[in-house]
């Protein structure tokens, strides 16, 4: 049978599946395996920041959605197991090499200003950026929608409709990009959004540099330095500061010459260890660096965020799918390239470096940044607005991160490739994704219950 016939047969099966009701199967407990997986993933960081890992476990125990946020590695271990978690019928060779955000959920999107000063809503975390099937980003977000909507007391039927609408928005926007370059200028702003997404954009745009600096720093005798904030910012010792200072040269060199400022801009004035931020990345080193900025005045100082990077969780499902030569075997470079590929007008301070043989990604801790608060999506209408915007912006990200970014890396037009492989059967893709998400969300809830039991009984998790 030819590939064309196989795909056609798959589409027919998917169409038939769309007739069937969407129901989740009962999830099996796999507690021993789960505990071992969590331990294996987190233990490498235990010697460095054990209290951060304790914080991570506490955060993960709050809800099934929080647990899901902290366990992207489980999702991709399962994704590789196609006997239990079937691969999509709506893919081919080219669409299995899409540049993914990798850890897609509502809180990895938010409001910010891009490098051109536009207040926008977009993806904002690229630690897991990697190449894989575009359906993996869709599926991971679909599961997140189900879990978060259930937490927000949205009805079961409405939760399912939200997933379908998210997929519909993605496919519709992707098709709209086919045959043109509109993805290069597409953005979500306060003028073309409403609801919580619009509020998030406006909140980001209303922030100021002075407020951010006041939150984390103080000025004494004409010098600005970081405050010590319990559970949030901790001073670094002199040897760590020296290592950070030495790593700055590599960081500066990683920035394209056309976007690089004078060396005085990057003068390191102070540094602090950032604690308690995020969920999945807790346990890895994260620093805030205070640099000089455009002038010697303290009012325009800049804060950089420097995050330790590791292998993308996506690689657990598709090892080698993104060749290491693409990012020079440097996971900081991989994260930053992912940011640049998936976003328009990216942070000119984005770069990477190595410190103590560990890879780091750096970008500005922007004053104009607002996290998305999914707990505000308290009605179906509010949630529906949000998922429709998120589907559209994910389509923009995938469409942009192809030959538009670097044709030597990805030679395809992904908006064409993805639209063509869907082949008009958006209904089938919606049903396939929803059924997968229902079953996987049930597994996450079972895993979460087993995790909480393991944690409460004192089992070693890291």
How far apart CA 313 and CA 71 sit, in angstroms, is 9
Contact 99, 401 (CB under 8 A): yes
Could you tell me the maximum CA-CA distance found in the chain, to the nearest angstrom?
77
Contact 73, 37 (CB under 8 A): yes
DSSP string for 417-443: HHHHHHTT-HHHHHHHHHHHHHHHHHH
How far apart CA 148 and CA 161 sit, in angstroms, is 14
pTM confidence score: 0.94
Phi, psi for 288 (deg, rounded to 5): -105, 130
pLDDT in tens, 327-358: 999 999 999 999 999 999 999 999 999 999 99
Contact 142, 163 (CB under 8 A): yes
Buried b (16+ CB within 10 A) or exposed e, 424-435: ebbbbbbbbbbb
How far apart CA 184 and CA 101 sit, in angstroms, is 18
pLDDT in tens, 373-397: 999 999 999 999 999 999 999 999 9
Q: Retrieve residue 38's tokens.
A: 């969590």
Tokens 């931020």 belong to 277
**Three-state DSSP string of 214-252:** HHHEEEECCEEEECCECCCEEECCHHHHHHHHHHHHHHH
pLDDT for the residue numbered 12: 37
Residue 122 bridge partners (DSSP): 110
How far apart CA 188 and CA 326 sit, in angstroms, is 29
* For the chain, counts of helices (H) and of strands (E): 15, 13
pLDDT for the residue numbered 3: 37
Q: What is the DSSP letter of 29?
A: P
Angle between helices 195-205 and 380-400 (to 10 degrees): 60
How far apart CA 180 and CA 175 sit, in angstroms, is 10
Q: What is the mean pLDDT of each run of 10 residues along the chain (462 residues)?
A: 39 39 72 98 96 98 98 98 98 98 97 96 98 98 98 98 98 98 98 98 97 98 97 98 98 97 98 96 98 97 98 98 98 98 97 98 97 98 98 98 98 98 98 98 98 98 98
Contact 55, 455 (CB under 8 A): no
Q: Retrieve residue 404's tokens.
A: 């538009």
How far apart CA 349 and CA 333 sit, in angstroms, is 13
Contact 388, 165 (CB under 8 A): yes
- From the CB of residue 276, how many other CB atoms can be counted at a distance below 10 Å? 18
DSSP string for 32-84: HHHHHHHHHHHGGGTTT-HHHHHHHHHHHTS-HHHHHHT-HHHHHHHHH-TTT
Contact 318, 132 (CB under 8 A): yes
């Amino acid at each position: 049978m030819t590939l064309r016939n196989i795909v056609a047969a798959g589409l027919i099966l998917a169409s038939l599946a769309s007739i069937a009701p969407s129901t989740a199967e009962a999830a099996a407990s796999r507690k021993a395996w789960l505990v071992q997986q969590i331990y294996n993933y987190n233990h490498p960081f235990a010697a460095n920041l054990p209290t951060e890992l304790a914080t991570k476990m506490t955060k993960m125990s709050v809800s099934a959605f929080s647990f899901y946020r902290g366990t992207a590695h489980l999702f991709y271990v399962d994704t590789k197991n196609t006997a239990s978690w079937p691969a999509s019928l709506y893919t081919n060779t080219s669409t299995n090499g899409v540049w993914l955000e990798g850890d897609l959920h509502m809180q990895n999107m938010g409001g910010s200003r891009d490098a051109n000063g536009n207040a926008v809503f977009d993806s904002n975390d690229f630690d897991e950026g990697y190449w894989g099937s575009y359906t993996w980003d869709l599926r991971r977000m679909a599961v997140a929608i189900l879990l978060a909507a259930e937490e927000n007391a949205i009805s079961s039927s409405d939760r399912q409709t939200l997933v379908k609408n998210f997929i519909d928005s993605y496919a519709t926007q992707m098709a709209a990009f086919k045959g043109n370059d509109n993805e290069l200028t597409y953005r979500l702003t306060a003028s073309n959004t409403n609801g919580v997404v619009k509020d998030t954009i406006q909140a980001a745009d209303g922030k100021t540099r002075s407020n951010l600096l006041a939150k984390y720093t103080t000025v004494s005798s004409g010098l600005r330095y970081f405050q010590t904030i319990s559970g949030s910012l901790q001073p670094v010792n002199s040897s760590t500061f020296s290592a950070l200072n030495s790593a700055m040269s590599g960081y500066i060199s990683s920035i394209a010459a056309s976007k690089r400022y004078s060396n005085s801009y990057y003068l390191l004035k102070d540094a602090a260890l950032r604690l308690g931020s995020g969920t999945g990345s807790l346990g890895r080193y994260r620093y805030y660096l205070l640099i000089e900025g455009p002038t010697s005045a303290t009012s325009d100082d800049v804060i950089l965020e420097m995050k330790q990077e590791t292998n993308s969780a996506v690689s657990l499902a598709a090892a080698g799918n993104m060749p290491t030569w693409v990012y020079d075997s440097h996971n900081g470079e991989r994260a930053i390239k992912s940011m640049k590929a998936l976003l328009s007008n990216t942070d000119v301070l984005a770069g990477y470096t190595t410190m103590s043989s560990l890879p780091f990604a750096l970008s500005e801790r922007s004053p104009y940044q607002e996290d998305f608060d999914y707990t505000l999506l308290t009605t179906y209408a509010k949630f529906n607005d949000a998922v429709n915007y998120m589907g559209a912006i994910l389509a923009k990200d995938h469409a942009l991160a192809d030959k538009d970014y670097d044709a030597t890396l990805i030679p395809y037009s992904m908006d064409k490739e993805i639209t063509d492989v869907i082949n008009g059967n958006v209904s089938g893709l919606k049903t396939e994704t929803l059924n997968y998400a229902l079953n996987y969300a049930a597994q996450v809830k079972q895993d979460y219950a087993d995790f909480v039991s393991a944690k409460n009984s004192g089992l070693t998790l890291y």
